Amino acid sequence: MSEFSGAGNDDLSLPKATVQKIISEIIPPELSFSKDAREALIECCIEFIMILATESNDIAEKEAKKTIASDHVVKALAELGFHNYIEPINKVLDEHKEHAKGKEKKHNKFMKSGLTEEELLKQQEELFRQSRSRLQHQSSSIAVPTVKTEDEDPKIKTEGA
């Protein structure tokens, strides 16, 4: 075991259902994977993630960065000798960046509306006007208690009088 195993790390785990799904996708259906083997695999994965995260953090700190970026993780893989993983990781990162760009465009409500900024502003102003009107209508139908002033009621004295 490494320096990462031990006190304080007992609560670290990976979702068993996710690990089982990954295992099921990799091994042929005629093979089984025992619970002990799954637990050992989870422990190895946690260990790998902790070592990779520590190395990535060290690289980020050397670059005076406060956030670990994907580039730091790729450099950490190289430093730890996992050169075979770098090309697939870079491919996945590129796919993720493309997917994120597409998602960004899809979620832009302004672009999706098909309306100009002026038209959207007019709609917004109209909604505000309707809301103010409803609010005024509601407040006029609510009985508001009146407050008497000193002039109306001689029993009321203001400070300094």
Each residue of 24-72: pLDDT tens digit? 899 898 998 898 998 999 999 999 999 999 999 999 999 999 999 999 9
What's the confidence (pLDDT) of residue 144?
A: 52
pTM reported for the whole predicted model: 0.56
| Closest C-alpha to 49, from 24, 14, 6, 96 | 14
What's the confidence (pLDDT) of residue 6?
A: 45
What's the confidence (pLDDT) of residue 156?
A: 56
State the pLDDT confidence band at 90, using cuts at 50, 70 and 90: very high
Query: What angle (nearest 5°) sits at the alpha carbon of residue 136, between those of residues 130 and 139?
Result: 140
CA dihedral 135, 141, 144, 146 (to 10 degrees): 120
Number of residues that this document lists for the chain: 161
Highest mean pLDDT among 6-20, 70-84, 131-145: 70-84
Q: Where are the domains of the chain?
A: 16-107, 114-138
pLDDT exceeds cutoff 50 at 152: yes
CATH class of 16-107: mainly alpha
Distance (Å, whole) CA 42 – CA 10? 12
State the pLDDT confidence band at 88, using cuts at 50, 70 and 90: very high
pLDDT exceeds cutoff 80 at 73: yes
pLDDT per residue over 93-147, tens digit each?
999 988 888 766 655 666 677 788 888 889 889 988 888 888 887 777 665 555 5
User: Average of pLDDT values for 67-85?
Assistant: 96
